């Protein structure tokens, strides 16, 4: 019997909004558009797999 170690490939990211510099936690495989809570600018858009991140990534949580 073969045992495979399955690793989690998705992460939560702490990003900084390019417009108002608000820090927000988002999912890297978002399936809906993610907007900034403060100013409403787009932080991430879904692409079918990993989301296209439009903000500066500060840290990644595993």
* Neighbouring residues of 8: CB distance < 8 A, sequence distance ≥ 6: 62
* pLDDT confidence band for 11 (50 / 70 / 90): very high
Q: What is the CATH number of the domain that holds 37?
A: 2.20.25.100
Q: What tokens does 47 get?
A: 């692409």
Domains in the chain, number:
1
Given a contact cutoff of 8 angstroms between Cβ atoms, the answer to whether 61 and 13 are in contact is yes
Once rounded to an integer, what is the mean pLDDT over residues 4-26? 90
What is the extent of the structural domain holding 39? 12-61
Domain membership flag for residue 57: yes
Residue 15, pLDDT > 80, answer yes
pLDDT for residue 62: 79
Average model confidence (pLDDT) for the chain?
91
> Model's pTM, two decimal places?
0.80
Domain membership flag for residue 32: yes
Domain membership flag for residue 19: yes
Cα torsion 36, 38, 39, 40: sign? positive
**Rounded to whole angstroms, how far apart are CA atoms 49 and 42?**
18
**Rounded to whole angstroms, how far apart are CA atoms 39 and 44?**
14
What are the pLDDT digits (tens) for 23-37?
999 999 999 999 999
């Amino acid at each position: 019997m073969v045992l495979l170690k399955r690793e989690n490939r998705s992460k939560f990211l702490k990003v900084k909004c390019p417009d108002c510099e608000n820090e927000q936690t988002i999912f890297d495989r978002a399936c809906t558009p993610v907007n900034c809570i403060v100013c409403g600018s787009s932080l991430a858009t879904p692409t079918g797999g990993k989301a296209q991140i439009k903000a500066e990534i500060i840290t990644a949580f595993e």
